[in-house]
Amino acid sequence: RITLHVLYIVRLILYQRIGSMTLYNFNKYNARRTKLDGHIFDSQMEANRYSELKLMQKCGDISGLILQPMFVLLCGFTRGGKKIRPIQHYADFQYLDKRTGRTVVEDVKGVETPVWKIKCKLLLYQFSQSKQFKNFDYHVVRMDGVDIL
């Protein structure tokens, strides 16, 4: 039984010898970076969702499509003279849903990593506690559909 870690190392060695793929392009979840309309997406699934959102914007269902909006989950601070960096989350998309009048923040996920699960909880907390985000919804787009959190 081969673990993902062993498979990852074997692929790295092969790609180094063959030289057909740089280490930067390799993704341990087998997602392939995709270029569309001058934007580089982390996966084909994310690029497909971008195409859907562009079409929805053209039809007038949504407006103000933003790629990679950044949210500060925990502000940076200083402790004992040492600077602690803020925790940030870059979502995949943000747009205004004209049917509901609410701002939607979307993440496209093929694999839910432990880090993403923590950031998701922090983001939901920010949305529930801050007046700035009272009109925001958070959607997670998966292969099998959309979850509204």
Query: Terminal CA-to-CA distance of the chain, rounded, Å?
Result: 36
Sign of CA pseudo-dihedral 41, 48, 93, 85: negative
The helix (H) or strand (E) run that includes residue 119 is helix 114-129
**pLDDT tens digits, residue range 111-144?**
788 888 888 888 888 888 777 777 788 888 877 6
Tokens at 113, concatenated: 């990593």
**pLDDT tens digits, residue range 89-99?**
899 999 999 99
Give pLDDT, residue 112.
81
Q: What gap in Å lies between CA 67 and CA 65, rounded to an integer?
A: 7
Contact 133, 126 (CB under 8 A): yes
Q: Is the pTM of this model over 0.85?
A: no
pLDDT band at 22 (very low <50, low <70, confident <90, very high): very low
Pick from 138, 141, 122, 123: nearest CA to 42: 141
* Residue that is written with structure tokens 């392009």 in the block: 25
Pick from 87, 86, 76: nearest CA to 120: 87
Contact 94, 133 (CB under 8 A): no
